[in-house]
Amino acid sequence: MKTTITTTENQVIAKFTGRLDTAAAVTVAEEVKPLFEVIGKEIILDCSELEYISSSGLRIFLSIRKEAAAHSSKVIVRSINADIRQVFVMTGFISLFEIQ
């Protein structure tokens, strides 16, 4: 599992590659901490190369969203595959995130 964070003028993009399962979540939770400091920008969670997400991964996404809301930032989940989109539906979080 690999997390890459890049920053542009108006956006911070976190790209997730691989399987965000329980084992990987501990490391990813640390790696996404810079996103908690983002103020007033769009935070893009680029999932184009994310293969799988577990409950622990969902919790990371939820914590990013919570911190972003507190810092007037907006979170967009981008390019999730059908399986992960289905996870968002099964858990009821499809209406919480802006998913593109």
Partner 1 sequence: METLDLHCQLMLEEYREVLPVLESMKTEVLAQLDKVLGDSGLVVTAIEARVKTEQSLAGKLALKGSKYATLSDVTDLVGARIITYYTYDVDRIASMAEKIFEIDWANSVDKRRLHQLDSFGYNSLHYICRLPGYDYRFELQLRTTLQHAWAAINHDTGYKSGIEIPREYMRRMNRLAGMLEMADDEFSRIRTELTDYRRRVQTLVKSGKLDDVLLDGDTFNSYLQAGRLNTLNKRIAAINQAEIMNTPLTGYLSILKALNCHTLGDVDRLIKRYEDDAYLLARHQLGNTDLDIISSAIGLQNICIVCILSTGGGKIGLERLFDALNEQNQQNAVLAELTYNQASALPFMQNFKS
- The site for partner 1 (CB under 8 A) is made up of 54-55, 58-59, 62, 80, 82, 85-87, 89-100
Closer CB to partner 1, 6 or 55, in the complex: 55
Residue closer to partner 1 (CB basis): 5 or 74: 74
100 and 89 Cβ atoms separated by less than 8 Å: no
- 39 or 90: whose CB is closer to partner 1? 90
* 3-state DSSP of 61-78: HHHHHHHHHHCCCEEEEE
Q: Which of 65, 57, 73, 68 is nearest to 95 (CA)?
A: 65
Min dist CB 86 to partner 1, Å, is: 6
